[in-house]
Amino acid sequence: MSLNFFETQRLGNIELIYFLNEKHASAQTWEFFTELIELIENIEKDDTIYSTIFAGKGNHFSAGLDFNDFLSHFGHLIGNDSKELYETIKIMQKGMNLMFGGKKIYIAAVSGSCIGSGLDFISACDLRFCSQDAIFSLKETQLGIAADLGSLQRLPFIIGFNNTRMLAFSSKNIDAKTAKQINLVNDVFDGKEQLISEVLKIVQSFTKNPTSALFATKQFINNLIKEIVNTQLDSIAQFNAKFLNIRDMQNNLPKIFKKEQ
Ligand SMILES: C/C=C/C(=O)SCCNC(=O)CCNC(=O)[C@H](O)C(C)(C)COP(=O)(O)OP(=O)(O)OC[C@H]1O[C@@H](n2cnc3c(N)ncnc32)[C@H](O)[C@@H]1OP(=O)(O)O
C-alpha cells in the first residue's frame, strides 16, 4: 500500500501513524480521505495490528479540511443539489466510519491545532489525548457549514450535548485544559514527545489484554450509538449536498486565516 498523506511506523502491535501535509498544518486533502479508507481497511484485516495512534507530523494535528484542495476539486458542485457532492461527502465520512465501526483501537494524540474535520476525525477515535499546546475548534458554522463528517453525530456522546452546542455554535477555540474539563481528552501531557511516549505506554497496557475481549469491548461500546450515527451522517450528507453555500465559505475563509475571530 503506498500512502502520500500518512507516514506509518510499527511498534510491536501498535501502528503509529503521522498525518503529513505538515506545510499546510496537516489540512485534510482529498488524498487524506481516500487513503484513510484504504489504510483502515488494511489495519482491520491485519491480525498483527491491535491499535493505532494518530498524530500530526508537524506543529499541528490538523487544520481541518484543506479548502484549497476541496474547492478546486468540488467547488463547482456546491449549491447545485448534486448527487456527486452527496457521494463525495459519503466518501469523506467513510474512513472515519470504518474506524468507529471497526474492531481495532484508534487513538488520537493531538498537539497544536485540531480544527473542523480534525475534530470530526478524533471524535471517531476510541480515546483522545493531547499536549498542553493543543487547541480544538469546530469552525464549520462560521464557514456556513453544518459539520457533516461526524462531530455533531458523535461528540454529544463524548462531551455531552451542551458542550457540543457551545463548540459548534460559537466556532471558538478551546485549549487543552478546557478539553480535559469537558472530557474531550482523557489526559493532557506536557509536550508532543511526552504525549507520544505516554500514549504509547497506555496503549501497550491495553493491548496486553486478550484481544478478542478488547476488540469485542470496543465494538459493543460503539454499537450503542452506531445506528443513530450512521443515519444522521447520511441525513447531513443529503442536507449539505442541497444547502451548502459557497459564498459563506468564500466570505469567511479569509477571516479565519487572518485569525479575526
Ligand atoms: C467539512 C470540514 C470543514 C472544516 O474542516 S472547517 C475547518 C477549516 N479549517 C480552519 O478554519 C483552519 C484554518 N487554519 C488556521 O486557523 C491556521 O492555519 C492554523 C491555526 C491551523 C495554523 O496556524 P499557523 O501555525 O500560524 O500556520 P499558518 O501560517 O496559518 O498555516 C500554514 C499553511 O497552511 C495553510 N493552511 C492552514 N489551514 C489550512 C486549511 N484548512 N486549508 C488549506 N490550507 C490551510 C495556510 O494557508 C498556510 O499556507 P501558506 O504557508 O502557503 O500560506
**Range with the poorest average pLDDT among 24-38, 63-77, 108-122:** 63-77
The CA distances from residue 87 to 24, 64, 82, 199, in Å, are 26, 20, 9, 35
Ligand 1 atom with the smallest distance to the CA of 253 is 11
Hey, which of 67, 69, 137 would you mutate to test ligand 1's pocket, going by the most ligand atoms within 8 Å of its Cβ?
67
Hey, which of 5, 22, 65, 73 would you mutate to test ligand 1's pocket, going by the most ligand atoms within 8 Å of its Cβ?
65
Q: Is residue 221 part of a domain?
A: no
Ligand 1 centroid from CA 121, angstroms: 16
Q: Is residue 224 part of a domain?
A: no
pTM above 0.90, yes or no: yes
Interface confidence, given as ipTM, is 0.98
Q: Is residue 118 part of a domain?
A: yes
- Residues 33-92: tens digit of each pLDDT: 999 999 999 999 999 999 999 999 999 999 999 999 999 999 888 888 789 999 999 999
Ligand 1 centroid from CA 139, angstroms: 11
Domains of the chain: total? 1
- Model pLDDT, residue 255: 76
Helix (H) or strand (E) holding 209: none
State percent of the chain over pLDDT 70: 98
- Model pLDDT, residue 174: 98
Q: What value, to the nearest 5°, has the Cα angle with vertex 158 and ends 156 and 164? A: 40
Structural domain range at position 111: 6-195
C-beta atoms surrounding 198 within 10 Å = 16
Residues 24, 63: contact at Cβ < 8 Å? yes
Q: Is residue 55 part of a domain?
A: yes
Is the pLDDT score of 229 beyond 70? yes
- Residues 179-190: tens digit of each pLDDT: 999 999 999 999
Residue 140 Cβ contacting ligand 1 at under 6 Å: yes
Q: Which three cell numbers stand for residue 238?
A: 443529503
Ligand 1 atom 12, closest CA? 63
Residue 16 Cβ contacting ligand 1 at under 6 Å: no
CATH code for position 70: 3.90.226.10
Q: Is residue 36 part of a domain?
A: yes
Q: Is residue 227 part of a domain?
A: no
Ligand 1 centroid from CA 256, angstroms: 8
Q: Is residue 15 part of a domain?
A: yes
Ligand 1 atom 41, closest CA? 66
Hey, which of 236, 257, 261 would you mutate to test ligand 1's pocket, going by the most ligand atoms within 8 Å of its Cβ?
257
Q: Is residue 236 part of a domain?
A: no
